[in-house]
């Protein structure tokens, strides 16, 4: 009798690419949020925000030191660092996606190898059973 029958092989969990599965399950608003995050999370956007923040700098300078400190904290840092932080997060996210894709490929290779090994072992089990039955038949005839 085979150690693993064909039914249990077909019932085994087959690995899936979670990155593709995640993209397929995204709703339209999720996709819009990803697009906006991708746009805001670029250095070009950080430069645009810096330019936008610098427009109000002359007015802050005219109002004095307190206004300059307020401008730095409330305008420049919030606008520019928002994009810069998002750039870093996007880079980290991209690295995680690449790693997940590589792990999926490795898992699929192992999965196919294991299926091949199990099929080979099942074939060997069947052959051993045939040989055992043949030996038993020959022994009973003597």
pLDDT tens digit string along 82-126?
A: 888 988 888 888 888 899 889 989 998 998 999 999 999 999 999
Work out the pLDDT band at 134, boundaries 50, 70, 90: very high
Q: Minimal CA–CA distance to 36: which of 76, 101, 78, 90? A: 90
Determine, yes or no, domain membership for 23: yes
Q: For 73-77, what is the mean pLDDT?
A: 86
Determine, yes or no, domain membership for 22: yes
Determine, yes or no, domain membership for 129: no
- Report pTM: 0.56
What average pLDDT does the structure give for the chain?
86
User: How many domains does the chain divide into?
Assistant: 1
Report the pLDDT value the prediction gives residue 6, as an integer from 0 to 100: 57
Q: Minimal CA–CA distance to 99: which of 8, 18, 39? A: 18
pLDDT over 90 (residue 131): yes
Q: For 49-69, what is the mean pLDDT?
A: 91
pLDDT over 60 (residue 3): no
Determine, yes or no, domain membership for 79: yes
- Domain of residue 100: give its range: 17-111
Report the pLDDT value the prediction gives residue 7, as an integer from 0 to 100: 55
Q: Report residue 77 as tokens.
A: 């840092």
Determine, yes or no, domain membership for 68: yes
Determine, yes or no, domain membership for 44: yes
Determine, yes or no, domain membership for 128: no
Report the pLDDT value the prediction gives residue 128, as an integer from 0 to 100: 95
Determine, yes or no, domain membership for 121: no
Report the pLDDT value the prediction gives residue 121, as an integer from 0 to 100: 93
From residue 132, give the alpha-carbon distance in Å to each of 39, 114, 126, 137.
69, 26, 10, 9
């Amino acid at each position: 009798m085979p150690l693993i029958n064909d039914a249990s092989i077909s019932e085994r969990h087959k690995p899936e690419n979670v990155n593709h599965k995640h993209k397929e399950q995204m709703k339209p608003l999720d996709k819009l949020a990803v697009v906006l995050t991708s746009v805001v999370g670029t250095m070009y956007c950080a430069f645009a925000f810096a330019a936008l923040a610098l427009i109000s700098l002359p007015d802050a300078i005219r109002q004095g030191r307190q206004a300059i400190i307020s401008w730095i904290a409330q305008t420049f840092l919030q606008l520019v660092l928002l994009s810069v932080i998002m750039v870093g997060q996007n880079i980290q996210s991209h690295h995680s996606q690449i790693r997940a894709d590589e792990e999926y490929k490795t898992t699929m290779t192992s999965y196919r190898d294991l299926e091949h090994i199990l099929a080979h072992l099942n074939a060997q089990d069947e052959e051993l059973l045939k040989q055992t039955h043949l030996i038993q038949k020959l022994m009973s005839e003597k």
